Structures are given as C-alpha cells and as structure tokens.
Structure 1
Amino acid sequence: MGAKKVINDGANDVHLVIQAAEYEQPYKGPQPQKPEDFQGGDVWATIYVKVCNLSGPDISVSQTPWSLEYADGTSIEVTGSTGGDMPKPEFPMDRAVEAGRCAAGLIAYPVPSDKKPERVVYAPDGLDPVEWAADK
C-alpha cells in the first residue's frame, strides 16, 4: 500500500492523485463503540487515504467510493457513521476540494476479526476503479 496513483480523465477535466496509505486491523487508536451485529463485523479497521485535486474544477470527495474486497468475493462498504467516537482524523463526507488542494484522513470499517481484505478499492462514479493490495 501507499503508492500514489494518478487519475487523468481529460474528457471530464478530472486530474487526481489518490493514495491508500495504510490499513490497520484492528484499529489501535481510541476505540469507537464496538460494531453492531447488523454492520457485519466484530472489530473496527481503518484505512488512511488521501485525494488531491491537481487541476480543473472543484471535486467532491466522500468515504463512499472506498471499499474493502476479500478473496471470497465479498466486500465491505463504509457504514456512513461519522463524528462522535469514530477514529480521527476522519476522511470527509461530501466535501468540495478545489484545484491544488487535498483531503486526507481515516475511513473506518466494521470487519470480521478472523479475516483480512485482499484489496482496498477506490471506485468513484464515472471513473475506472483503482486498487491497492492490503497489507497482510
């Protein structure tokens, strides 16, 4: 993990540098409330991500394009839980990033403690997915 990846979509004037820098399972910082049964996991894991808008119009960043994918074909999406006792600093939800600026922070996932994902995937609407191998 950690490799910066460039997205150049000239047709839509989107020019980004994105990075999934670190995966941590279980999250070792101050603990949020244990995941609820309906969330599908028993511990919290985090990825530290960064999205930079190199040029062009403002972009909107969010946690929702980021997911974890497992060898058995399952995936875990973000819960939408933010604020409160969630791991800090949090990656923003629905924030505009102007050209020359970045957004960075942690995204938390309720994951099963007995398995780890193979990949971290960034798949925003209208762009091809980008992925990183998750640290084992």
Structure 2
Amino acid sequence: MAEFAEVSAKFTVVVLAYSQPVEGPQPPDRATLGGDVWATVEVKVCNTEGKTFAVSQFPWSLAYEDGTRIKVTGLNGGDLPKPEFPSVGEAVRQGDCVRGKIPYPVPGDKRPARIVYAPEALQEPLDWVVPAS
C-alpha cells in the first residue's frame, strides 16, 4: 500500500500482466514512436482510504537493462487493446478502482526489465520485474 500525502489518500497499485507482442494493429513506423510492436501493461489502482485522486497512463514507463525508458504515447481508442487504462486524469473515489491496459510501442527484439510507476505524489517510484517470457 502507498500513500498520496498531498491528497490524504491510501491506495493499492498492482501490475496484473505484461504482454509482448500484442495482437492487433502494429505501431506506425519505428522512427515515429520508437518501437515496431505493441506491448501492454495491465494495471489496477484502488483508492482504499481518503480523498479522491486522479490516475492516468503517464506515470507508467518501461525500464530496460541498458537504461532506456519507454514512456506512454498518450494514444488511445481505435484498435488498441481493451480495456484501456485512462489516458487522462480519471477520478478514483474512496472504495473505487480503475483497471486497464496501457499500450507501449516497443522494440520487438528485447523485453523491459521493469515496469515503473512514478506519480509525482510518491517520493519513491514503485516497480515490478518483467518475467523473461
């Protein structure tokens, strides 16, 4: 459990799955978004106690062994995998949860080492190890 001090809320956050490659449309050319296949991280954030706070895709990133970080594109809708995690601030009231998939254009020939959650309100980022396959 973590705490958003400035909004006086406690919450749980969990990564449910990492998938690569994801079936469906392929990202536009690699030079545009930096990846040649889509990957998704399925996450769930719950407000367990306190005031309403907002969640979005933007505090989430993928960290690679070589120090590379891949951030979200902000793309949503269309043929991207469902259910989607909100791309803009979604209010999470006490007792409520938000769950969905976050898409990333990634290089198909390597996998990230970690999934990182680093909202500004947290002093330390949270991270999860990505399994080898």
Q: Relative to structure 1, is the Cα distance of residues 51 and 118 closer, same or farther in structure 2, using a 3 angstrom cutoff?
A: same
2:12 corresponding residue in structure 1: 17
- In the superposition, relative to structure 1, how do residues 86 and 72 fare at CA in structure 2: closer, same or farther (>3 Å)? same
Tell me, yes or no, if structure 1 residue 133 matches structure 2 residue 99: no
Look up the match of 2:104: 109
Equivalent residue number for residue 3 of structure 1: none
Q: Is contact 1:24–1:47 with CA below 8 Å preserved after alignment?
A: yes
Report the count of equivalent residues.
129
Indicate conservation of the 8 Å contact 1:43/1:112, yes or no: yes
1:100 corresponds to: 95
Runs of 4+ residues deviating >4 angstroms? 9-12
1:80 to 63, 74, 77: 74
TM-score between the two structures when normalised by the length of structure 2: 0.91
1: CA distance, partners of 2:62 / 2:41: 9
Aligned twin of 1:54 = 48
Q: Which runs of 5 or more structure 1 residues have no equivalent in the other structure?
A: 1-5
Which residue of the other structure, out of 63, 67, 72, is the alignment partner of 1:69? 63
Q: CA deviation at 1:12?
A: 4.3
Q: CA deviation at 1:74?
A: 0.4
Question: How far apart are the structure 1 equivalents of 2:5 and 2:75?
Answer: 33
2:27 alignment counterpart: 34
Give the C-alpha shift of residue 27 in structure 1: 1.0
Counterpart position of 2:114? 119
Does the CA-based 8 Å contact 2:60-2:116 persist in structure 1?
A: yes
Query: What is the alpha-carbon distance in structure 2 between the residues aligned to residue 100 and residue 23 of structure 1?
Result: 26
Structure 1 residue matching 2:78: 3-state secondary structure: coil
Unaligned runs of 5+ in 2: none
SS at match of 1:17: strand
Equivalent position amino acid for 1:42 in 2: D
What is the aligned-residue identity percentage? Answer: 50
The TM-score normalised by the length of structure 1 is 0.89
